Amino acid sequence: MVKALDMTVANRQYQCSDIHHSDRGLQYCSQVYQTMLNESGIPPSMTDGYQNALAERINGILKQDHSTQ
């Protein structure tokens, strides 16, 4: 994840502000990752547990519906 963030920051081609939205996975909460976001001027945004569970449920329904067509 750190390598992907580093590549993203290095290859930015726009001037608008960024927000990094993710779930609360360990890789996104790590001190190394959060430090990189901070140094890059990218504020983190994380879902709470309920939002993540709801999104996973909706994705599951959509995948199931798509596979039956």
Number of structural domains in the chain: 1
Q: Report the pLDDT averaged over residues 2-15.
A: 83
Q: Please indicate whether residue 10 or residue 2 has the higher confidence score (pLDDT).
A: 10
Q: What is the model's pLDDT at position 26?
A: 73
| Residue type (1 letter), 64 | Q
pTM of the model: 0.56
pLDDT for residue 69: 59
Nearest 10 degrees: Cα torsion 38, 40, 41, 45: -60
Range of the domain at 52: 2-9+17-67
Residue 34: in which H helix or E strand, if any? Answer: helix 31-39
Q: What's the pLDDT at 66? A: 66
Could you read off the pLDDT of 10-28 as tens digits, one per residue?
A: 888 877 777 777 877 777 7
Q: What is the pLDDT of residue 22?
A: 81
